[in-house]
Structure 1
Amino acid sequence: MRVIGLMSGTSYDAVDAAACDLAHRPGEDGVLHLTPLGMVSEPYPESLRAELAAALPPARTTLADVCRLDTRIGQAFGRLAVRADRELCRGKAELVASHGQTVYHWAADGQVHGTLQLGEPAWIAEASGRPVVSDFRPRDVAAGGQGAPLVSLIDLMLLRGRPGVPAALNIGGIANVTVVPGHADPVAFDTGPGNALIDAAVRQLTGGRLAYDEDGALAAAGRVHEGLLRRMLTEPYYRLPAPRTTGKELFHEGYLQARIAEFGQIAPQDLLATLTRLTARTVADALRPLGATEVFASGGGVRNPTLTAMLRAELAGTPLRTSEELGLPAAAKEAYAFAVLGYLTLHGLPGNAPGCTGAAGPRILGSITPGRRPLRLPAPPPGAPRSLSVRADGPGVRPSALR
C-alpha cells in the first residue's frame, strides 16, 4: 500500500510529507516492509504561522481563531498531500495519514487529560481524493496514556533485536527518547525542550527577523552561563517519572523570560549557548540512567552542529548516530512514522505501545475520513507486526552519521 504521512511538529515552521510503500509479505507476519519514496516539505504561509504563534499558549485565543486555524492548517496539509501524491507516488497514493498540528497538550500532575491537534482532515480528503487517518493521539489519552511519544512504537519496531541498549532520540520543539533494553521493558518519554527555548530566544533577540539559530552559529559564538543553566535545571518536570510528556504549554517564551530576569543582562550568544547546553544536558541526563549504548537521532535538531557537539560531549562516549543508519532520513522520520501508524489503523491494528505511553492496553488509533471513492477497509493481517524492515536504497535515503 502506498501511503503519505503528513507531519508538522511543535516548531510549527513547515509541513512535511513522506511517501512510502508498506507491505506485509506472506510468511513474514511479524515484519512490516517499508520502502521510502521520498519527502517534500513546504513552510507554512507566513500569515498562517503568525496566526498560529499568536494563538498558542500562554496566549489567549477565541473559538473563531481555532476554527480559522483548523481550516487553514487542513488546507495547507491538503495542498502538500496533493503535491506528494503527484511528485512521489505518481498519483497512486492509497492513503494519507495526518498527524495535524498540536496546539495544546493538557498535562497536569503527571497525567494527560486531553490533547488537541488542528488541521481538519476533510480538507485533506477533499483535495487529495484519498482516505485520511487523523487524530491519532486522543485514543491513547482516553485509555490513560500520555498520547506521546507515539513514534515509540516505530522505534521499537526498528530497534528491537539490536545488541546492547539502543535508543532513539527525536529533537523537535520538544525532545523525546525511546530506549529498548534487551531484557527489560522499553521506556519512552519527552525529555524536555528540544529547539523550543532556543527558537523562542532567537525570535525575541532578533525581533522576529530570525526563527532559529541556523547551524547553531550564535550558540557557537557564546559561552554557557553556568548560573542560568543551574537555574533552568531545577525545573520539576525533569524529575517526573516516565512516562511523561510536555510541550510549549510549559516551555514557551514567557517561561524563558521569567528565568532570565533573575540574572540581569546576558549576552545573546551566551544565552543561546546556555539553552543549547540545556537541551543536550537534559537529553543526556534522561538517557544515562537507562544505560543507552547507542543513540539514533532525528528531527530538526540534528541540523544544529553546535547542539549535536554538545550532546556528544554530554553522552560521554555513547555513539551518537542518525536515523539514516536505520534507513529513515532524520528530517522525515516522524512523517514516515505516522504513515506506518495510518497503515496500522486502516488495517485494524493497534498503533500505540502501552508500556511507553502508559495506556491501559493496545489501541487502534485515530479516525478515518473517506476519500472520493467508497471506503473499503482491507482485511487485517494475521497479527500485528513486531519489526519494521526498511529498504535502505529507497529514494531519498542516504546513510550518514553525525559528525
Structure 2
Amino acid sequence: MSEASTNPPEYYIGIMSGTSLDGVDLAIVECDQNQLSTHFTQFSLFPEQLQKDLAELTLAEQWHPDHYFKIETELTQVYANAVEAALVSARVEPGNITAIGCHGQTVRHRAFTKPAYTVQMINGSLLAELTNCTVVTDFRRRDMAAGGQGAPLAPAFHYAALSAQHPNAAVLNLGGIANLTIWDQERLIGFDSGPANGLTDAWMQTRFNKPRDEGGEQARQGNINQGLLEQLLKHPYLQLPAPKSTGREEFNLPWLESQLASYNDVSDQDVLTTLAEFTAVSIAESLKNSKPTHMYVCGGGVNNLYILERLQRLIPQTVIAPSSEVGVDPDFMEAIAFAWIARQTIHLQPGNQPSVTGAHGPRILGAIYPR
C-alpha cells in the first residue's frame, strides 16, 4: 500500500466465511492515502440449516443445480443481512462504501487436478442489489488462470501490512485449515500447512456434542497416541512442497474415520488430543526450513491455548503471539485482507503474490459488480 493520494478516505467492507463454516466475519476498513485502519468488526453465526447444507456441499460427489443455487441465494442473503447490520451499527451509509470485498464460501478447491478449479459460493450481482454497494468477488480464479494455486490469498495482505515493521516474521491463520505466511529480507512464501480447527471441531461435534474445544481444555486432558499421530502425518499432502493449498476435500471426518480403522482402542479423548498434536506438528514441520523470529497468530484457533502451547514447545526459537500485538484483530485478519484485496482491484493493483500461489505473475483479482 505504497501509493499516496490527496483523495478523501475510502471505506471498504471485507467479508470472509472460512472452512470452519461457523459464520461470517465482517470488517469495515478505512483507507486513507497509504494508511489502513479497521473502523468496525462484526461476527454473525450461520443459521443452523445453512451451516449443515454448506458442510454437505463441501463433500458431496454431485451437486443438483436447483439445490446449489437455492443455498447460494440463502448464503448471499446472510451476507447482505450482515452488511446491513454492520452499516447500522457503525453508522455508515451504503453510499460511503467504495466496495465490498466478499470472498464467498469455498465449497470445492481442487488446485492439483487437471484442470485445476475452485468454487466460492456467492451471487455477486444479488449482493450488490441487496446492499446497494459495489461488490468485488471471485478472487481466486484469476490467479488459477495464471497458473497459480488460487490460495492462500491473505499472505499478500500480511506482507503489505506487516513486513516493513517486522522484517523476519510469519503469520499463522488457524481456521478450519492452517495457513502460513513467512517472509524475510530475501523471500516471501505462503501455503496451507494442513488442518487446524476443522478436524478437532468435527470430533468435538460428533463425540462430545460441543461445537469446539474451548481453549483447548478438552484436548489438554488426554494423551497423545504416537501410533495414530504417525499415521495421520503420512497424509500425502503434507509431503508436498509449496506452493500448495488444500481444504475440507482432503482433511475431513470421513478421512479421519478411515485413519482410525486400526486404532479402535484409542479413546475419544485421546483422539482429540492427538488431533491437536497433529495440527501443531504439521505446522512445525512446515517451518523446518524457515526461522522467523516471531509468528503472529490469527483465526479462531488463536483461542486454542493448548495447540499454541504445543506449537511453542516444538518451535522454541520463534516467539508466538496473537496478531493483536501488531495491531490486527486476530478474529478478523482475513476479513480485513479481503477488504484490502477489493481495494487493490478497484485501484487496478495486483492482489496476489506469485511467490506464494505459484502464478506466472502479479494479477488484478476478482470480478466487479457495480452498485
Band of TM-score, shorter chain: over 0.9
> Map of 1:129-208 to 2, 5 A cutoff?
129-162=132-165, 165-182=168-185, 184-206=186-208
- Report what 2:347 is aligned to: 347
Distance 2:52 2:300 in 1: 20
> Counterparts of 2:242 and 2:110 in 1: how far apart (Å)?
17
How has the CA–CA distance of structure 1 residues 58 and 316 changed in structure 2, closer, same or farther, with 3 Å as cutoff?
A: farther
Give per-residue Cα distances to partners, 1:147-181, cap 9 Å, x unaligned: 11100101111332346631111010000111102
Aligned residues: 360
Aligned partners of 2:162 and 2:289: how far apart in 1? Answer: 19
Aligned to 1:261: 261
Residue 134 of structure 1, CA deviation: 0.6
- In the TM superposition, residue 336 of structure 1 has moved relative to its aligned partner by 0.3
Cα deviation digits, residues 46-90 of structure 1 (max 9, x gap):
111111122221554322221112111111111101112221252
Displacement after TM superposition at 1:123 (Å)? 2.6
Q: Give the alignment of 1:3-402 within 5 angstroms.
A: 3-24=12-33, 32-58=34-60, 60-91=62-93, 92-108=96-112, 113-162=116-165, 165-182=168-185, 184-206=186-208, 209-371=209-371
Q: Which secondary structure state, in structure 2, belongs to the residue aligned with residue 356 of structure 1?
A: helix
- Please tell me whether the aligned partners of residues 10 and 173 of structure 1 are also in contact (alpha carbons under 8 angstroms): yes
Matched with 2:3 is none
Letter in 2 for 1:320: I
CA distance in 2, matches of 1:185, 1:19: 30
Question: d(CA) in 1 for partners of 2:91 and 2:20?
Answer: 27
Distance (whole Å) between structure 1 residues aligned to residue 11 and residue 242 of structure 2: 35
Residues 328, 227 of structure 1: CA spacing in aligned structure 2 closer, same or farther, 3 A cutoff? Answer: same
Secondary structure at the counterpart of residue 288 of structure 1: coil
Q: Structure 1: which amino acid aligns with 2:132?
A: G
Structure 1 residues 112 and 185 mapped into 2: Cα distance closer, same or farther (>3 Å)?
farther
Show the counterpart of 1:396.
none
Deviation at 1:288, TM superposition (A): 2.4
Point out where structure 1 has 5 or more consecutive residues left out of the alignment. 25-31, 372-403
Q: Alpha-carbon deviations, 1:338-371, whole Å to 9, x = none? A: 0000011011111001111100111110011111
Cα separation, 1, equivalents of 2:87 and 2:274 = 42
Query: Once superposed, what is the RMSD of the aligned Cα atoms?
Result: 1.5
Question: What's the TM-score, normalizing by structure 1?
Answer: 0.86
Q: Contact 1:172 / 1:300 at 8 angstroms: preserved in 2?
A: yes
Kept in 1: contact 2:291–2:318 (CA 8 A): no
Unaligned runs of 5+ in 2: 1-9
TM-score, scaled to structure 2? 0.93
SS of the residue corresponding to residue 94 of structure 1 reads strand
**Alignment check: 8 A CA contact 2:149 2:243 kept:** yes
CA–CA distance in structure 2, aligned partners of residues 240 and 58 of structure 1: 25
Bigger shift: residues 164-173 or 354-363 = 164-173
| Contact 2:293 2:317 (8 Å CA) reproduced | no
Superposed CA offset, 1:85-112 (max 9, x none): 2212522323211011000001326x87
Q: CA deviation at 1:133?
A: 0.4
Task: Measure the CA separation in 2 of the matches of 1:79 and 1:98.
Answer: 13
The residue identity in structure 2 corresponding to 1:19 is I
The DSSP-based 3-state class of the residue aligned with 1:52 is helix
Q: Among the aligned pairs, what percent are the same residue? A: 36
Q: Which amino acid aligns with 1:113?
A: A
